[in-house]
Amino acid sequence: MTPIHLAMIIAVLNQKGGVGKTTLSVNLAAALALAGQRTLLIDADPQGSALDWQAARQTESLFPVVGMAKPTLHKDVPALAADYHQVVIDGPPRVNELAKSAILAAERIVIPVQPSPYDVWAADEIVQLIQEVALYKENLRCAFAITRKIGNTAIGRDVVEALKHYPFPVAAATLGQRVVFAESAARGLAVLEVQPHGPAAREIQALARELLEM
């Protein structure tokens, strides 16, 4: 008998490199796990960055990381998700069948975007793919998340305005351009472990809450 999954499945997707997709995925999973939620991170990126992050870790992980970069992801996830409250999918870096499968598997989609016109323009393809798949998923919810934002800059404000022509909202919680994200990743840790009361940790927690309430 196939297990019934009750997990919330969140996919982090963007085909543009350098937007902090894996950084967001691992830290989001850590925030959920530290909030007492049984959490699973699925690495659906053929580059295996989330698996590399886990391999760099010296202590027991807050959550398991499973590699599953294949276009049958949406068929395989329900059985995997059965024992978890939350599942985070670190999506592939291109718009392809694997990305489509990640969308089909998810109930929430986060599109990380840097405050750059190039990132805004590059969002077209993933937005179109999500819209196509959303025709078959009534309860799919999507949002942009601003990453690597430099505080009190015009470009940080302008990107929110530029994203308004897309059909998805922009999350109120944003992630700043902070060294601790890279420093923690190099050790296979989350920012909540390295600086649990720091600004980066608060930003991740705020975004996690917003996504669950979306």
Write the pLDDT tens digit of every residue in 102-138: 999 999 999 999 888 888 888 889 999 999 999 888 8
How far apart, in whole angstroms, are the C-alpha atoms of residue 134 and residue 184?
A: 35
What CATH number is attached to the domain comprising 97?
A: 3.40.50.300
Residue where the block lists tokens 């998805």:
168
pLDDT at residue 174 greater than cutoff 70: yes
Mean pLDDT of the chain: 90
Question: Residue 1: its pLDDT value, please?
Answer: 34
Q: Is residue 2 part of a domain?
A: no
pTM of the model: 0.92
AA letter at 22: T
Q: Is residue 42 part of a domain?
A: yes
Split at pLDDT 50, 70, 90, the class of 192 is very high
As for how many domains the chain has, the answer is 1
Name the 3-class secondary structure at 163: helix
Q: Which domain holds residue 73?
A: 8-213
Q: Tell me the residue length of the chain.
A: 214
pLDDT at residue 3 greater than cutoff 60: no
Q: Is residue 57 part of a domain?
A: yes
Q: Is residue 3 part of a domain?
A: no
Q: Is residue 1 part of a domain?
A: no
